[in-house]
Amino acid sequence: HHSSQISIRFNALLGAAFTRDVRALPLIMAEIKGTNSMLRSLAVKLATMYGDTPLQHELARFAQAAGPEGPTISHQIAQSPEP
């Protein structure tokens, strides 16, 4: 996931997230905090699939920083099923 190529990082993020394995969480969290808006958006969307508390806290922080879009993201978090 340390590649500078967006397509490689995008595919690594998708692959990691769809394993539904706890080992994907650091990658998802890193991309939520990342500077690339496309990867950040994908990471937030994929993170809603997980019910892990640390990831939910990170999403809540992201939602607060997002301003007007925050309630939408928070609603997605609340509606996502726990594994």
Model pLDDT, residue 74: 45
48 pLDDT exceeds 90? Answer: no
Other CB atoms within a 10 A radius of the CB of residue 81 amount to: 8
Q: How far is CA 59 from CA 2, 4, 18, 21, 25, in A?
A: 22, 24, 18, 18, 12
Q: What band does 3 get if pLDDT is binned at 50, 70 and 90?
A: confident
**DSSP assignment of 41-64:** HHHHHHHTT---HHHHHHHHHHHH
| Bigger pLDDT: 11 vs 55 | 11
